């Protein structure tokens, strides 16, 4: 089964649970070529006037001023990007695809998306609210919650009702914590650090600004607590050490504005994207909110569960805003999780069976946690008086993990991976 997740911060295509494409919804339109995704992101500071970052959330046929030969509007860019995703992800023509979109996607945009996908030979078999589907694979406890997910230009807050199924009741937007606004602040903070420590301002030169942008983005995504940013220009190199706490401080006013919009303490579900924002989970918990972080593959698991449990409709594609919970308290879970096989530390990967067989050895105490197999899932249990984080969130009890999760203990970082042996 194929699943396409259309959040422009991180568009993902997966076959079953195997992610074959994960890149941002960004384009750089030059006279002789159009670049998308990571290739475009690496040029946005070099060609700021040619950079396009709004075509997914502003999807329409309204004309835009770009230099591409076949690019007249945002819909053209979406069409070209979908073709790129198909090509890189090796998605066959007219193969059924489950598509998840943000809650703020309008009916007009949904209709246009269906038409564009058809033109690109992509058969959309189901169209679902991303917040609803993802939360259905994350929470089962009856009640209300708010799902947070950030796109390039705004955070979408989706209010949900859980009662055997997950239903959308309303949504709102917060421009203050969109990805672009956040990273602009982080870049300014890092540039100030360069000026203070090296007397070199990387924002004065497009190439060094691009270097700062790329490195900050990479390290924020990996959720490391401290990292080096190094820029090179005219045969000279400059570097500074950057902490997540510095970035969190820079974003504090924006996070406070988001808190105001959320309102009274409630249950919060964070997408894996927005959970990476430095300081966000800490701010939410300090304000009395219960925070749940969605695992990396949640939407793909939800799509597979939907396909398994839903009958094919002959009435066309409808927009799904109510989704059966895959973690019903009354029924065994049918959520399909990817089981990791190895624990990666630096360049060395140790099989989880070996890790667990050495559970009582000193190495685990040094590591600060142990890994247990409980039923069909692996869990991480903090062992020592060392702060243990999973995907940037501190844990104090046994916590379920899956492929792609990053565990950080003290100054060490580990990642759960799946090694596939073919043949």
Q: Which residues contact 361 (CB under 8 A, 6 or more apart)?
A: none
Write the CATH number for 232: 3.30.420.40
**pLDDT bracket for residue 423 (50, 70, 90):** very low
State the pLDDT at residue 331: 41
Q: Note whether residue 84 is domain-resident.
A: yes
269-312 confidence digits (pLDDT tens)? 999 999 999 999 999 999 999 999 988 888 998 898 888 776 55
**Token output for 313:** 């409709």
The torsion angles phi and psi of 89, rounded to 5 degrees, stand at: -85, -5
- Domain, as residue range, for 132: 2-137+298-324
pLDDT in tens, 200-212: 999 999 999 999 9
Given a contact cutoff of 8 angstroms between Cβ atoms, the answer to whether 411 and 398 are in contact is no
Considering its fold, how many domains does the chain have in total? 3
The CATH number that applies at residue 362 is: 2.60.200.20
Does residue 348 belong to any structural domain of this protein?
yes
pLDDT band at 359 (very low <50, low <70, confident <90, very high): low
Pair 272, 369 in one domain:
no
| Mean pLDDT computed over 131-145 | 89
Question: What secondary structure does DSSP assign to 329-354, as a single string?
Answer: TTS------PPP-EEEETTEEEEHHH
Whole-number Å distance between alpha carbons of 120 and 217: 31
Distances (CA, A) of 217 to 38, 202, 210: 11, 16, 11
Which among 130, 171, 86 has a CA at the least distance from the CA of 306? 130
In a shared domain, residues 65 and 160: no
Average pLDDT over the chain reads 88
pTM for the whole thing? 0.78
Q: Calculate what percentage of the chain has a pLDDT beyond 70.
A: 91
Higher pLDDT, 176 or 46: 46
- 359 domain-assigned: yes
Q: Which has the closest alpha carbon to 284: 383, 380, 182, 392? A: 392
Q: How many CB atoms lie within 10 A of CB 343?
A: 21
Tell me which residue of 279, 226, 223 sits closest to 256, measured CA to CA.
279
Q: Check whether residue 162 and residue 211 sit in a common domain.
A: yes
Give the whole-angstrom CA distance, residue 290 versus residue 149: 16
Mean pLDDT of 358-372: 67
């Amino acid at each position: 089964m194929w699943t396409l997740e259309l959040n422009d911060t991180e568009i993902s295509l997966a076959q079953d649970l195997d992610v074959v494409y994960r890149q941002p919804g960004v384009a750089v339109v030059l006279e002789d070529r159009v670049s998308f995704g990571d290739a475009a992101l690496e040029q946005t500071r070099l060609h700021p006037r040619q950079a396009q970052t709004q075509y997914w959330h502003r999807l329409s046929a309204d004309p835009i001023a770009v230099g591409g030969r076949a690019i007249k509007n945002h819909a053209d860019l979406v069409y070209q990007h979908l073709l790129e995703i198909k090509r890189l992800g090796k998605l066959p023509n007219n193969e059924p695809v489950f598509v998840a979109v943000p809650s703020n996607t309008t009916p007009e945009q949904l209709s246009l998306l269906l038409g564009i996908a058809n033109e690109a030979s992509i058969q959309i078999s189901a169209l679902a609210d991303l917040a609803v589907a993802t939360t259905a694979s994350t929470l089962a406890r009856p009640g209300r919650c708010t799902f947070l997910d950030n796109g390039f230009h705004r955070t979408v807050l989706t209010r949900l009702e859980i009662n055997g199924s997950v239903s959308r009741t309303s949504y709102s937007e917060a421009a203050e914590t969109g990805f672009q606004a956040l990273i602009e602040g982080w870049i300014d903070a890092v540039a100030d650090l360069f000026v203070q420590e090296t007397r070199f301002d990387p924002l004065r030169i497009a190439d060094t600004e691009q270097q700062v942008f790329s490195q900050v983005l990479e390290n924020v995504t990996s959720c490391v607590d401290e990292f080096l940013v190094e820029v090179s220009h005219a045969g000279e190199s400059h570097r500074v050490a950057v902490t997540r706490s510095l970035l969190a401080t820079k974003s504090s006013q924006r996070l406070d504005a988001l808190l105001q919009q959320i309102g009274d303490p409630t249950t919060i579900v964070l997408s894996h994207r927005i959970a990476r924002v430095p300081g966000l989970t800490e701010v939410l918990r300090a304000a009395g909110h219960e925070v749940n972080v969605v695992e990396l593959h949640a939407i793909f698991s939800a799509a597979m569960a939907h396909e398994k449990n839903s009958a094919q409709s002959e009435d066309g594609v409808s927009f799904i805003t109510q989704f059966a919970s895959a973690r019903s308290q009354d029924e065994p879970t049918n959520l399909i999780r990817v089981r990791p096989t190895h624990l990666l530390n630096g360049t060395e990967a140790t099989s989880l069976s070996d890790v667990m067989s050495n559970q009582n050895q000193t190495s685990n105490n040094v590591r600060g946690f142990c890994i247990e197999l409980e039923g069909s899932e692996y869990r991480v249990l903090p062992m020592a008086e060392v702060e243990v984080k999973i995907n940037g969130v501190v844990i104090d009890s046994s916590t379920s993990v899956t492929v792609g999760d990053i565990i950080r203990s003290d100054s060490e970082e580990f990642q759960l991976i799946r090694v596939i042996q073919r043949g």
